[in-house]
Amino acid sequence: MSSPAPHLLIVEDDTGLQSQLRWCFDGYRVLIAGTRAEALAHVRKHRPSVVTLDLGLPPDPGGVTEGLATLNDIRMLAPETKIIVVTGNDERTNAVNAIGLGAYDFYLKPIDAGTLRLVVDRAQALFNLEAENRLFQEKNQPGTPFANLITSSDNVLSLCREVEKVADTDAKVLLIGETGTGKELFARALHDLSRRTEARFVAVNCAAIPEQLLESELFGYEKGAFTGANRQTPGKIERADGGTFFLDEIGDLPLALQPKLLRFLQERVIERVGGREEIPVDVRIVSATHQDLQALAAQGRFREDLYYRLGEVVLQLPPLRERPGDAIVLAQAFLKRYNAHFSKSHRGFTPDALNAIDQYPWPGNVREIDGTVKKAVVMADGPVISAKDLGLQQDASETPTLSLTLREVRKQAETTAIRKAIAQADGNLSQAANLLGITRPTLYKLLEKYELKPNESQSQ
């Protein structure tokens, strides 16, 4: 059974606009309110996911006091609701102030139903993502292995299910993913969900330890094994006995050490450096890498047999750019976390910040978004965090609104297509128009509109 349509509350005192808007939102259960009291009654009863709120409400239809008071009340009653403030075109400052008070976005009149619908849909999408994450967090209360995991991505949620399934087996798990995608977090969850949870979780980063030291770090050494070996020292594998041993950046394990690790995986015994004794160790092995181990194996830099031993179960962590919506959900959650941590009270992000967070590719993944939001929470002066505060945009005032963004997108797409077509047609505009499926006069109009010169188009 599909879930019921979400509630959208339209707070608007103009009866003409009320009836116009009522029919614009297929797929929503539309509620209409003309006053603060009516709006709050709907919010209490239906907890709408999105509200469009006209700031000019009676008894102050020419001002914004009643509208802002309504915004505040809705925020108190339903903090998860996304409020889009609708206001006159000459009242941009009020709209921006409303964002400071916790509105999600603003929309400047005159109303174009199609564009407003886009803004509402975007707010609804964010509401859905946050709701999914809230559900996930409720299920994973503090102290549980996924308590710190923030996500609303189906990919990541299904990885959590896989982790739950394999955690209590001793299967060796190989976690593959770019830096900052949460490999260590998942490795710890595997440990915490296993019967080994009372014993140690010991991690070694193969890339961080010089090659000469890595063997003794992993396997330990006997007194006198080398200069400076003043006493017998167990290695990290031994210290993890009974627990989980996490080999991070396994792709950096020197070739010379790989046979020794392979032998341990096969026989479950280690020999300390300089020792003869075989010491049995019972650990569960989890490893991780950001590298393509099969490609390394093909180049002779990683033993194929070791790869297959380590990867009895392979879990692939998707980068943030392949988890639609997760960047925003993470940013909101980190904002809450660092507000509490640093006793700050930033209300949220400006629309341009949300846009930028969504668009930026986050090569450092979750770690990067965590650090970026943390810094912005500490440094930002205003009540809300802008793209500029996040270091994602030069000047927040230059931010395009959604309609401008769409225009920009269209301009870019059309310009690129025209350039390609002219190049392909070798400068012949009739042929280029044919390729584009438009008439020659339309092509001329577009060239004029985008100030493109046919020759210049060809060269780019």
Q: Where on the chain is the footprint of ligand ATP (CB under 6 A)?
A: 148-151, 177, 179-185, 248, 290, 366-367, 370
CB of 175 to ligand ATP, least distance (A): 8
Which residue, 192 or 370, has its beta carbon nearer to ligand ATP?
370
Q: Smaller CB distance to ligand ATP: residue 49 or 289?
A: 289
Phi, psi of 158 (to 5 degrees): -75, -30
β-bridge pairing 348-349 and 173-176: unpaired
Residue whose CB is less far from ligand ATP, 279 or 313: 313
Q: How far is the CB of 362 from ligand ATP (least distance, A)?
A: 11
Backbone angles phi, psi at 384, to 5 degrees: -125, 155
Q: End-to-end CA distance of the chain, in Å?
A: 52
The least CB distance from residue 112 to ligand ATP, in Å, is 37
Name the residue nearer to ligand ATP (CB basis): 147 or 413: 147
For the CB of residue 157, give the shortest distance to ligand ATP in the complex, in Å: 10
Minimum distance from residue 259 beta carbon to ligand ATP (Å): 25
Q: How far is the CB of 247 from ligand ATP (least distance, A)?
A: 12
Our CB check for ligand ATP shows the closer of 182 and 351 to be 182
The residue with tokens 């790989």 is 258
Tell me the closest approach of the beta carbon of residue 370 to ligand ATP, in angstroms: 5
Pick between residue 180 and residue 351 the one whose CB is nearest to ligand ATP: 180
Q: Distance (Å, rounded) from C-alpha 161 to C-alpha 167?
A: 10
Q: Nearer Cβ to ligand ATP, position 20 or 144?
A: 144
